[in-house]
Amino acid sequence: MSSFPPYTWTNWRILLSGFYGLELDEASKEAFYTLTRREPPSEPAQELWLAIGRRGGKSNIAALLAVYEAVFNDHREVLAPGEVATVMVIAADRKQARSVMRYIHGLLIENPMLARLVVREGTEFIDLANRCTIEIMTATHRGTRGYTAACVIADEIAFWHSDGANPDTEIINAVRPSLATLDGKLIALSSPYARRGVLWRNYRRYFGQPGRVLVAQAPSLFMNPSLPEHVVSDARTADPASAAAEYDAQFRTDVEGYCSVEAVESCTRPGPLELPPSSGIRYKAFTDPSGGVSDAFTVTIAHQERENAVIDCVRAIRPPFNPEAVVEEFSQLLKQYRVSEVTGDAYAGQWP
C-alpha cells in the first residue's frame, strides 16, 4: 500500500513478518532480534505486545492489522447463522479509538478491491461483506464481553487504568475468551509509561522469551526514520525522564507508587505468597475499605517476627461489588486467623 513506503516502514515489516511466522533473511533476523531479543517464531504467534516510542507509527500499524485480520481471514465456515466476526479496536476513550478508525477507513477506501467489501459504515463500526465487523470501543471489562472476536487490538494500553472499576488486567481477561472460537490474535500497542499494569507485566514475563507471546520494544526513530531527530533531541533536553519513555520506549522509574518495584520485590518471599493460620501466632489486620464503585476493598493480615513484619495474607475485591458482601467475606477470613479487631482509615465514602 502507498501508505507504507519501504524506507519508513522496514522495521515494522520485519516485526510483523516475524509475528506471522514468515521466513526472514539474515539481515532481517538481526533487526528482529534488536526488537524482541529472541529468535523469530517458526509459526505465527498468538499475542503481540508492543512498547514503541511516540510517533513510531503505532496507530497506522493498528489500522493495518485491523484491516488485514478483518479482510484476509475468512471465518464464515466457523460462524453460526447470524453471527459475525468482530475485530475489536479498544482504546482508553472514544476519541482515541476514533483516531484509529479514521486510519482504518482510509486504508479500506483508498484500495478499490477493499472498498467493495464495505457494506455499511458508522462512526464506530465498519461492516464488511465477509460477515466481519471492525468496531471501536472503550476499555471496560463489561462493554468488551459477548463478542466473537477475530482479533483484539488494544491501543495505548499503558495508559488504561490499572486499578479502579475497569483495570486493564480485567479487560484483557474479559476479551481473551472472545478470541477462542476463531483462534484470534491479541495485539497490544503503546508507548510505555510506568512500571505497572498489564503491558509492564507482559513485558517482564515474555520479552526475550520464546513462545506464542511476542513482545517488542523500540525507540521512535528505529520504527520511524522519517521522524525529525531534533524532535527527540529537544524532548531529551526539556525533560530527559519523559523523553526516555515517550521516544526511547523505556518504562519510567520516576512515577512509581508509594514503593518502587525493586523495593517490593526485595521483601517479597518467593513462595508461598499466602501463609495459612498457625497456632501460637498473634495476627493483626489492616483494611482499606471502598464503597464498591471506583476503588478496590482490601484487607491484609500480618504478624511480627522479631524486628520484621510478615505479611501472611492479602485480599482485594475490585469494583463493582456489594460492600456488605465483602465485609462478610473478609470477616470469615479474619476469623480463620483469630483476628477480632481491624485497623483502617477514616472512611467517608458512599458506604457505610
CA 117 and chain centroid, separation: 30
Task: For 188-207, give one letter per residue: b (16+ CB within 10 A) or e.
Answer: bbbbbbbbbbbbbebbeebb
Q: In whole angstroms, give the CA distance from residue 329 to residue 327.
A: 5
**Residue 261 pLDDT:** 67
What is the pLDDT averaged over residues 129-150? 90
Nearest to 195, CA basis, from 254, 235, 265, 154 = 254
**Residue 338 pLDDT:** 96
Nearest to 85, CA basis, from 184, 173, 19 = 184
Cell numbers given for 274: 499466602
Residue located via cell numbers 518467593 = 270
What is the pLDDT averaged over residues 139-151? 87
For the chain, the domains span 9-247, 269-350
Share of the chain above pLDDT 90, in %: 73
What pTM was estimated for this model as a whole? 0.77
Q: Is the peptide bond before 81 cis (omega within 30 degrees of 0)?
A: no
Q: In whole angstroms, give the CA distance from residue 57 to residue 8.
A: 9
For domain 269-350, give the fold: Nucleotidyltransferase; domain 5 (3.30.420)
One DSSP character per residue, 238-263 reads: H-HHHHHHHTT-PPBSSS--SS-HHH
Instruction: Name the pLDDT band for 352 (thresholds 50, 70, 90).
Output: low
Does position 265 have pLDDT exceeding 80, yes or no?
A: no
Which architecture does CATH list for 9-247? 3-Layer(aba) Sandwich (3.40)
Residues 6+ apart with CB under 8 A from 282: 303
Does position 99 have pLDDT exceeding 60, yes or no?
A: yes
DSSP 8-state assignment for residue 88: E
Residues 6+ apart with CB under 8 A from 223: 11, 12, 52, 53, 56, 57
Q: Confirm if 224 and 57 have CB atoms less than 8 A apart.
A: yes
For 227-264, write each residue's pLDDT tens digit: 999 999 999 999 999 999 999 999 988 766 666 666 77
Helix-then-strand count for the chain, H and E: 12, 12
Return the biggest CA–CA distance within the chain.
Answer: 77
**Residue 3 pLDDT:** 72
Cell numbers given for 45: 504467534
Instruction: Name the pLDDT band for 313 (thresholds 50, 70, 90).
Output: very high
Residues 6+ apart with CB under 8 A from 284: 301, 302, 303, 339, 341, 343
Residues 6+ apart with CB under 8 A from 334: 285, 299, 301, 340, 342
